[in-house]
Structure 1
Amino acid sequence: MGKGDRKTRRGKIYRSSYGNSRAHALAPAVAGAKPTVTKAPAACKAAPRKKSA
């Protein structure tokens, strides 16, 4: 059991895949609550354009 095993968490990480062993979001602690998923920062915006004279 290790990197080559598709059913284990380490195997999922090695193959860059997801499933029951490696879920995207954590289960909510309270019934009815939405799971939290982190998103990439919004710092990928384009630089402001310079005004021409």
Structure 2
Amino acid sequence: MGKGDKKTRRGKIFLGSFGNTRPKKSKLRKAKREKAKAESK
């Protein structure tokens, strides 16, 4: 278990892949963050 293991988070970072262990940043989360940033100003 380590960098070569596709099932671990560290392995996914090393291989540059995404999945349940390492989800991509969704557009929904990004939009929510920008909305909150605009409201705080």
- In the superposition, the TM-score normalised over structure 2's length comes to 0.59
- Structure-1 residue corresponding to 2:30: 37
Q: Which runs of 5+ in 1 are unaligned?
A: 27-34, 39-53
More helix by share: 2
- Larger gyration radius, structure 1 or structure 2: 1
- Structure-1 residue corresponding to 2:10: 10
RMSD: 2.4
User: What is the CA–CA distance in structure 1 between the aligned matches of 2:30 and 2:2, rounded to whole Å?
Assistant: 27
**Consecutive aligned runs of 4 or more in structure 1 exceeding 4 Å deviation:** none
Aligned residues: 31
- Please state how far the C-alpha of 1:25 moved relative to its aligned partner: 3.2
Is residue 14 of structure 2 the alignment partner of residue 21 of structure 1?
A: no
Percent of pairs identical after alignment? 53
User: What is the CA–CA distance in structure 2 between the aligned matches of 1:37 and 1:12, rounded to whole Å?
Assistant: 22
SS in 2 for 1:37: helix
The aligned amino acid for 1:37 is K
